[in-house]
Amino acid sequence: MTRLRTGARVAPMSGGPHRHYLLGGQPIEAAQLKGGLYIVATPIGNLGDVTLRALQTLAGADLIACEDTRVSRKLLDRYGIGTPLTPYHDHNAAKARPMLLRRLADGAAIALISDAGTPLISDPGYKLVRAAQDAGHVVTALPGASALLTALSVAGLPTDQFFFAGFLPPKQAARRGRIAELSRIPATLVLFETGPRLAATLGDLAAGLGNREAAMCRELTKLHEEILRADLEALAQASAANEPRGEIVVVIAPPQAPQRPSLSDTETMLREALARVSLKDAVGEVAEATGLPRRDVYQRALALAKQTPQKPGEEEKHGAPR
């Protein structure tokens, strides 16, 4: 087990050329942070959803590692933050990570952000966090917006258990294979998808999961936010007729628990089974088919067996199930 150092540390204010941010047009000085890696959640759409702690950290850091400097610059410009940006994404991570680790070793405070939402959720960053921890640097999380949790909160579907599947494979064969794996998970499913692939993905989901209830959440927190709730087939048809644009989260209801047969249906199944096989085999057959506890099925089978005249020698077949 790896013991990780925890806890945010803030040094006294020391000022500096970029250590401030704007609120309501008024500059606010930010404390220079102690060295370490800060995982900072940023808004998923509405820039007003940023937290005060995120602003203080972004302004007080020595460097901000981000996916796309053009996207991140919009947020920093909105709040008058001049901290230098450096790209860190899937395509340059192997080359950029050693540089960031050297800066951390020199005592720098580095903030890691994604284009939107919480870093590491379908975004790069896991390997940097792991490497920083292994090197003994403090890694601090600053929670905030998340498209995953935002979609769950407005989808109107069960939230007691959920499974985040990220992006499904773009090719249909691989996507259908992944959906087959997801079909066995007894929880609400949440996944991300792009507009051009949405109709095909929803169609494959309907075929692989059954026509479950679902919600398509688009452009969450933005001006053109849209939430549609229907079954998967209806959502697939709507998406095929009018391809949606923007960031999309799909939330899918969990599989329905199979309905247990009535006592009358169970007895009918047992009578038919007892006419063909031994009591032990009949109990196993009906318990597997109905999902009822084996012991309950056995007790009912015994009662039925006593009511049914037995042929000579049949008693030997009726033993307790093992």
- 222/274 same-domain check: no
Alpha-carbon separation of residue 71 from 75, 87, 231 (angstroms):
7, 11, 34
- 99/160 same-domain check: no
- pTM of this prediction? 0.76
Range of the domain at 28: 20-145
- 27/135 same-domain check: yes
- 200/172 same-domain check: yes
Lowest mean pLDDT among 11-25, 184-198, 296-310: 11-25
Answer yes or no: is 185 within a domain: yes
Helices 126-134 & 93-105, crossing angle to 10 degrees?
30
CATH number at residue 242: 3.30.950.10
- 89/28 same-domain check: yes
Answer yes or no: is 269 within a domain: yes
Q: Please check the confidence at residue 132 and state whether its pLDDT lies above 50.
A: yes
- 104/126 same-domain check: yes
Answer yes or no: is 13 within a domain: no
Q: Please check the confidence at residue 7 and state whether its pLDDT lies above 70.
A: no
- How many other CB atoms are found less than 10 A from the CB of residue 272? 13
Section 99-113 average pLDDT: 98
Q: Please check the confidence at residue 315 and state whether its pLDDT lies above 60.
A: no
End position of a domain, from candidates 252, 273, 288: 252
Answer yes or no: is 130 within a domain: yes
Put the strands of the sheet holding 248-252 in their side by side order.
162-167, 188-193, 248-252, 213-218, 226-231
Taking a C-beta distance cutoff of 8 angstroms, is the pair 169, 240 a contact? Answer: no
Rounded Cα distance between 194 and 306, Å, is 63
Q: Please check the confidence at residue 147 and state whether its pLDDT lies above 70.
A: yes
Taking a C-beta distance cutoff of 8 angstroms, is the pair 257, 217 a contact? Answer: no
Encode pLDDT of 184-238 as tens digits: 999 999 999 999 999 999 999 999 999 999 999 999 999 999 999 999 999 999 9
pLDDT the model gives residue 9: 43
Percent helix, strand and coil across the chain, each to the nearest 5: 40, 20, 40
Rounded Cα distance between 101 and 93, Å, is 12
Q: Please check the confidence at residue 33 and state whether its pLDDT lies above 80.
A: yes
- 279/212 same-domain check: no
End position of a domain, from candidates 220, 252, 284: 252
- 130/184 same-domain check: no
pLDDT the model gives residue 68: 95
Q: Are strands 26-29 and 20-23 parallel, antiparallel or unpaired?
A: antiparallel
- 246/152 same-domain check: yes
Answer yes or no: is 15 within a domain: no
Q: Which residues of 136-149 are buried (b: 16+ CB within 10 A; e: fewer)?
A: ebbbbbbebbbbbb
Helices 279-290 & 263-274, crossing angle to 10 degrees?
140
- Which residue is associated with the tokens 């959920």? 162
Residue 139 bridge partners (DSSP): 37
- 79/138 same-domain check: yes
Contacts of 225 (CB under 8 A, 6+ apart): 45, 218, 219
Q: How many domains does the chain have?
A: 3
Answer yes or no: is 4 within a domain: no
Answer yes or no: is 205 within a domain: yes
Average pLDDT, the chain: 89
Answer yes or no: is 8 within a domain: no
- 273/312 same-domain check: yes
Q: Please check the confidence at residue 56 and state whether its pLDDT lies above 90.
A: yes
pLDDT the model gives residue 266: 83
End position of a domain, from candidates 232, 252, 272: 252
pLDDT the model gives residue 88: 97
